[in-house]
Amino acid sequence: MEKHFTDSRVKGVSTGTTILAAVFDGGVVIGSDSRASMGGEFVSSKTINKVIQVHDRIFCCMAGSLADAQAVTKTAKFQLSFHSVQMENPPLVIAAASILKELCYNNKDELQAGFITAGWDKKKGPQVYVVSLGGMLISQPVTIGGSGSTYIYGYVDAKYKVNMTREECLQFATNALALAMGRDNVSGGVVNLVVITEAGAEHIVIPGDKLPTFSDE
């Protein structure tokens, strides 16, 4: 069933954000900062959790209009739960990403929201998918998004390696988010991370004063 959303782009709350997901050997890390902004300048909240669980081992990060992103993820969670009951099996990660893609594409004239979907399933193991503002779907081993991502493309290209260990991937994600938060005026607060493996999902919160610092800060 097609669902239409109200346009919230005019003076709406934005996630003004840095989001990230990266595959490691046996799992995937997905994370973000926790600030929400209005108009790209005013920080309206420092405690927004942008890492949303849509199923047991599937999470997504949201960027863009907060109202749009929350409406889409709420609808996606319902559809994915219904899909899981029909299939009598846990849903695939690609199924979750495809639902988000369809919602974004069918409402592309009203929505201003993009997503990173990450998770683990028995068919393909750890996976990361990007759903763009217009509803395009791409599979990548590592991806970043949001306003803060423009500051860390070089770091991500230089430091990400295929088949990293869990600890290496966590350190990579933490460093990348800390660097973006240090540069982007609407990224900040705490770092929310989720590690997803066959065993399940582990939530990790790193306060701002516990984040790594760098020589230019």
SS3 of 10, please?
A: coil
Cβ contacts of residue 63 below 8 Å, gap of 6+?
15, 17, 19, 50, 69, 113, 114, 115, 116, 145, 146
Side chain identity at residue 183, one-letter code = R
Query: Which of 124, 53, 130, 51 lies closest to 98, judged by CA?
Result: 130
Residue appearing with tokens 């600890």: 167
CA distance 164 to 22: 10
Distance of CA 173 to the CA centre of its chain: 12
* DSSP line for 66-103: HHHHHHHHHHHHHHHHHHHHHHTSPPPHHHHHHHHHHH
- 47 annotated active-site: no
- Catalytic pick from 17, 117, 143, 174? 17
SS3 of 208, please?
A: helix
Query: Which of 56, 62, 68, 63 lies closest to 93, judged by CA?
Result: 56
Q: Could you give the residue numbers annotated as active site? A: 17
